[in-house]
Structure 1
Amino acid sequence: MRFFCLLVLAAAAGFAHAVPPVALCYNYGCASRVEVRFADKEIDALDARLRTAGSAAEEREVLAGVVGRLYRLAGKQTPVAADRAGNLLDAGANGRMDCIDHSTSTTALLELLAARGSLRFHRVLAPSRRGVIFQHFSAVIEEIAPPAVLAAPAEVPDHVGLLLALCDCPDVVEDIPRPPAPPPGEPGARYVVDSWFVDNGEAAVVLPLADWLNGDGPNVQ
């Protein structure tokens, strides 16, 4: 009976940590859709990479490569491995992706990471659009206030305790070093995570939304 209970608990634990499927789309305008399943160990490895980031800027830098890795893994299961930067290099190929495919799919991948708590400095927003006639879409993230981090206890010099015991010297506590305050971030700042600019599996392009809206980004077609 005990062995049976252990099996049930192990199965329940595995189910609780299972990565839900992610719906990706391709062949331009989300004409084709497919569910991709990532292994737990794959997502755990990417989560570990993201947790090395100590700031929002570092998280964006790591996130660019993580998104590329997710697309490479997806390419092992689906035709999106054929996708190339822009729209011309893979014209007619099964698995090609335009900016609608990328903005939709990248947002789904970012939401997967966010749901697992892997994004500590950003939240995922709806895709953004630039242009009127020649339109372009991209996934978007927004910087948030960093998570609370417990500061390391300050070292108390030996003389502080002695002086507090011998006299009423409240000023002596000024001798206790204070840990430096973390540098201020920019909560509310928005950035695009644009995977349309690169070949399948390469790091996505991450840049400020305002710059992207003004036309910034690699010159691909």
Structure 2
Amino acid sequence: MLRWGWLLLAGLSGGLWADESVRVCHGYGCNFQVAVRYTEGQLGQIRRMLLAATDAATERSVLAVAIGRLYGWAGEQSDIHNDRGGNYADDNVSGKMDCIDHSTSTTRLLHLLARRGYLRWHRVLETDSRNFAGIVPVHWSAVIEEKRDDEHRRFVIDSWFVDNGQPAVILPLDEWKKGAGPDV
């Protein structure tokens, strides 16, 4: 009986520590999607980084680097290594990404981290947009919210502003909606 218990435990732990795949968008408007595989070793690096955070502000700083690293590894497996910050530095290369590609893919990466229990200070929300004249969406981003009972502080994690593999830009959602962020 004890042998069966050990076999069950070994089988379950193998499932908990398996490589994971995430679909990453590119081609503008999530026109193309590629399954990117992250090894348990890579995810372990991200886990150690995030679990070292001692508060929400530190977790956000680490998340910026972690998202950049995840995109860098995705670029080793796909054409998104060609992606440059903004929409104009890409020229017409394969793997270019617009804000819809980035917001969708970053949200998927954040959900992966949340599922694994790596986010202790934040929860993942749906993508959000900033609008021209308050009506027409002109830019999209992934959004997180601090896990606090007294207030709902929301932040964008915007990887569209940077070249592939670089740390994402994290800004308070309200500031981002007013146009804050690097000029690309």
Look up the match of 2:51.
Answer: 51
- Find the counterpart in structure 1 of residue 177 from structure 2: 213
Q: How does 1:14-93 map to 2 (within 5 A)?
A: 14-93=14-93
After TM superposition, the score normalised by the length of structure 2 is 0.91
In structure 1, C-alpha distance between the alignment counterparts of 2:9 and 2:63, rounded to whole Å: 34
Question: Match of 2:57, as an amino acid?
Answer: A
Secondary structure at the aligned position of 1:101 is classed as helix
Task: Kindly provide the CA deviation profile for residues 26-77 of structure 1, in whole angstroms up to 9, marking residues without a partner as x.
Answer: 0101110111110011111111101111110010011100000000000011
Q: Is the 8 A contact 1:122 1:141 kept in 2?
A: yes
Aligned length in residues: 180
Paired position in structure 1 for 2:164: 200
2:141 alignment partner in structure 1: 138
CA–CA separation in structure 2 for the residues paired with 1:54 and 1:24: 30
Q: Distance in 2 between matches of 1:91 and 1:186?
A: 46
Amino acid at match of 1:188: H
CA contact (8 A) 2:50 2:63 kept: yes
The one-letter code matched in structure 2 to 1:105 is S
1:90-109 counterparts in 2 under 5 A? Answer: 90-109=90-109
> Over residues 174-193 of structure 1, what are the superposed CA-to-partner deviations in whole Å (9 max), with x where a residue is unaligned?
xxxxxxxxxxx964100000
Specify every segment of 5 or more residues in structure 2 that has no aligned partner in the other structure, as ranges: none
AA aligned opposite 1:49: M
Partner in structure 1 of residue 113 of structure 2: 113
Q: For the Cα contact (< 8 Å) 2:20–2:39, is it kept in 1?
A: no
Q: Which runs of 5 or more residues in structure 1 are unaligned? A: 146-184
Matched residue of 1:207: which SS? Answer: strand
Equivalent in the alignment of 1:190: 154
Q: Percent identity?
A: 48
Tell me, yes or no, if the aligned pair for 1:144 and 1:186 is still in contact at 8 Å.
Answer: no
Cα distance in 2 for residues equivalent to 1:101 and 1:140: 14
Q: Deviations over 1:95-120 (max 9, x none)?
A: 00000000000000000000001000
- In structure 2, relative to structure 1, the CA distance for the partners of 1:39 and 1:86 (3 Å cut) is same
Question: Are 1:143 and 1:189, in contact at CA under 8 Å, matched by a contact in 2?
Answer: yes
Distance 2:151 2:120 in 1: 12
Q: What is the deviation of 1:13?
A: 2.4
TM-score (norm 1): 0.76
> Contact between 2:56 and 2:122, CA under 8 Å: does it hold in 1?
yes
Which letter maps to 1:121?
W
Aligned counterparts of 1:140 and 1:48: Cα–Cα separation in 2:
22
3-state SS, counterpart of residue 48 of structure 2: helix
